[in-house]
Amino acid sequence: MNKRSILKKHNLFEKNIEEIIKYGLRLMERSSTFFNVKEKTIIIEGLLLRACAYWERFVEEEVIFLIELKQSKLREYLELPYSQKLNCQLIKAILFSDSYRSFQDIEKSKGFFRRFIANNYNLFDKLANEQIRKNQMAYKLRNYLAHYSEFAKKKLQQEYERTYHYSLFMKPGRFLMKENGKHFESLIHNFILMSATMKGELACVK
């Protein structure tokens, strides 16, 4: 895979996220004749889950590509000879064959990235703190929707209070729909901002 191919993947990812934002904002403009509030919250939650799924697939592909670009750290970690050729398929098999890996929380995944991705190619280190914080908020919403556990609810409530100063718990759909979708648009658009930041840095990598 070359830079041109991965840049196309960035563009496709951003296009998919833009469509999710468009659908969500269009939904909130619809009158109750089409969808009542409960129906809207269910749909908007589904759009958040889809955006997170796109992000997870995008990050997995990005990690594999960045390791392929500069393979020195992976070779050193596995003590592989340089005569052993590594392509994307083999790197993917090495990284994911022994256990389930999930990179959606960039902050928690930084150790893994730094272990296997060469320093100059670690585009995840280029993301702004605000971008990472919004990504974590999106996943607190996602985790609650995926599990409905008391632990996930507690973590989400803490984020509501710390970041948005909301003292009462809100279901994710209600939160995302507040102020005509302000939170929805901000959190989902952040996926595009992260991709754009990484894409800009990728263009500078030789």
Helix, strand and coil content of the chain, in percent to the nearest 5, comes to: 80, 0, 20
pLDDT along the chain (206 residues), means of 10: 84 97 91 82 96 95 91 86 83 81 85 90 94 96 95 96 94 94 96 96 79
Q: DSSP labels for 70-127?
A: S-HHHHHHHT--TTS---HHHHHHHHHSSS-----SHHHHHHHHHHHS-GGG-GGGGS
| Structural domain includes residue 170 | no
| Structural domain includes residue 164 | no
Whole-number Cα distances in Å, 169 to 3, 156, 159, 180, 191: 44, 8, 10, 19, 25
| Structural domain includes residue 46 | yes
| Structural domain includes residue 167 | no
| Structural domain includes residue 174 | no
Q: Give the total number of structural domains in the chain.
A: 1
* Domain residue limits at 67: 3-136+181-204
| Structural domain includes residue 163 | no
| Structural domain includes residue 40 | yes
- pTM of the full structure: 0.92
| Structural domain includes residue 199 | yes
Q: Mind listing the pLDDT tens digit for each residue in 73-90?
A: 988 888 887 777 788 888
